[in-house]
Amino acid sequence: MSLETIEQEVRSNLMRFAGLGYKVKFVFDDGPTFLLDGTVTPPTLSTEDGDADCTLRLSAENMAKLMAGTLNPTLAYSLGKLKVDGSVGVALKLASMMEE
């Protein structure tokens, strides 16, 4: 899955992150940075770099697997496929919202 496809998929499901209450930055090994702003309603997604409560670092391939449900976020973190800077609690809340 390309980064463009990942961006489109996240944009089409932004309301899933309503009530997140935090900003989460996705930094991809091989591409741009996405900033999910869950502090506003409706949530927004931009490619601008900015401050975030939690930063997730991963490859586009692993992001696609997380979104498809074929890679568990906790397992990805444990195996080093997903790195979390900032609040791990925010990352866990985001993971639970992705599963819904």
Q: Which CATH number covers residue 31?
A: 3.30.1050.10
Domain that holds residue 29: 3-87
Average pLDDT over every residue of 33-55:
95
100 within domain boundaries: no
Tell me the two tokens of residue 39. 């502090």
Domains identified in the chain, total number: 1
Q: pLDDT-derived band of residue 42, with 50, 70 and 90 as boundaries?
A: very high
Element (H, E) at 8: helix 3-12
Element (H, E) at 34: strand 33-37
93 within domain boundaries: no
Q: pLDDT-derived band of residue 5, with 50, 70 and 90 as boundaries?
A: very high
The reported pLDDT for the residue numbered 32 is 85
Classify residue 20 by its DSSP letter: -
CA atoms within 13 A on the CB side of 29: 10
Are 1 and 60 in contact, with CB atoms under 8 Å apart?
yes
